[in-house]
A and B are shown apart, each in its own frame.
Chain A
């Protein structure tokens, strides 16, 4: 009988809502977007280094060479900036003070990774592009560790 009275009260006077849900924006983060861009940086850097200079006097070959060189450079520049943007979003939006306790070198890791993005734009350096990939892999490991998930590292290329 008491429960019936409660049920009536509940029906007549709705209770305030208390939320046990994902309130959105849902905070979907994944370092794989940085990884894909960093892979493009490494790929373009390697292609730039391997690009053969055409023989002198061949105008058409020279035009094609410069066009290809410019395109590779533009893509490298763009993808390095995307890598940097993706990393900065993870750093500033996903990671919280509690993660810093867990990974004390978090700030240093992101700072160095962002610096490598800049280096990959300024230079045509396979070494720095590889170091950028290593930095993104390290961040991948930290990120998934904070989520207690075992997500193995892989690359598309």
Chain B
């Protein structure tokens, strides 16, 4: 357990699996209820490999807040337009703390701090295909 987690008294589990897409996901994508992204970079290894595609639900956090362990796409707080894929470590009043899975390769909230709610683009729901 890291010092941070120790301090907060929590030990969030990083996501270890991401299911494949089903017909429903494709229909939702065609109905523009899902967005498609391609992974660039190695910070989410071993779960997400560079070149892999995922579908995200851009409406997942309209009504509810993300949960620790969620895979999310978010905008870099200091580089508008740069979209990042990370996992949620914990939720705060002002935003959420994001981290890569492969921490050595990752630029994340350890460096740029909390990502505000408006910076969240959506929740990753499955890989494609």
Do residues B2 and A148 form an inter-chain contact, with CB atoms below 8 A?
Answer: yes
> Interface with B: A1-9, A72-80, A113-121, which one?
A1-9
A-contact bits for B91-129, CB 8 A (1 contact / 0 none)? 000000100100001110111111000000000000011
Q: Is B53 at the interface (CB under 8 A from chain A)?
A: yes
Q: Is B19 at the interface (CB under 8 A from chain A)?
A: no
Q: Is A15 at the interface (CB under 8 A from chain B)?
A: yes
Known: A3-B129, A21-B43. A16 touches B84 (CB 8 A): no
B residues in contact with A21, CB < 8 Å? 40-43, 105-107
A30 to chain B, nearest CB (A): 14
B-contact bits for A73-115, CB 8 A (1 contact / 0 none)? 0000000000000000000000011100110000000000000
Do residues B129 and A97 form an inter-chain contact, with CB atoms below 8 A?
Answer: no
In this complex, the interface size class of chain B, counting residues with CB under 8 Å from chain A, is: 35 or more
Known: A18-B40, A18-B85. A23 touches B79 (CB 8 A): yes
B83 to chain A, nearest CB (A): 5
Shortest Cβ distance from B109 into A: residue: A98
The one of A10, A14, A20, A101 that contacts B7, using a Cβ cutoff of 8 Å: A101
Q: Is B73 at the interface (CB under 8 A from chain A)?
A: yes
Do residues B83 and A17 form an inter-chain contact, with CB atoms below 8 A?
Answer: yes
B104 to chain A, nearest CB (A): 9
B43 to chain A, nearest CB (A): 4
Q: Is A27 at the interface (CB under 8 A from chain B)?
A: yes
Q: Is A33 at the interface (CB under 8 A from chain B)?
A: no
Do residues B3 and A19 form an inter-chain contact, with CB atoms below 8 A?
Answer: no
Once bound together, how far apart are the Cα atoms of A27 and B83, in whole Å? Answer: 19
The one of B105, B113, B128 that contacts A98, using a Cβ cutoff of 8 Å: B113
The one of A16, A97, A98, A147 that contacts B83, using a Cβ cutoff of 8 Å: A16
A residues in contact with B7, CB < 8 Å? 101-102
B residues in contact with A17, CB < 8 Å? 37-38, 40, 83
A residues in contact with B36, CB < 8 Å? 15-16
Q: Is A53 at the interface (CB under 8 A from chain B)?
A: no
Once bound together, how far apart are the Cα atoms of A38 and B3, in whole Å? Answer: 28
The one of A18, A27, A145 that contacts B111, using a Cβ cutoff of 8 Å: A27
Known: A14-B38, A23-B76. 9 other contacts (CB 8 A): A2-B26, A15-B37, A18-B39, A19-B41, A20-B50, A20-B84, A20-B85, A21-B107, A98-B110
Query: Which 3 A-B residue pairs are closest in the complex by CB-CB distance?
Result: A21-B41, A18-B37, A20-B44
- What are 27 A-B pairs with beta-carbon distances under 8 A? A2-B23, A6-B129, A10-B128, A15-B37, A17-B38, A18-B39, A18-B54, A18-B73, A18-B84, A18-B85, A19-B40, A20-B40, A20-B41, A20-B100, A20-B106, A21-B40, A21-B42, A21-B105, A22-B41, A22-B106, A24-B107, A97-B114, A98-B110, A146-B4, A147-B110, A148-B2, A148-B3
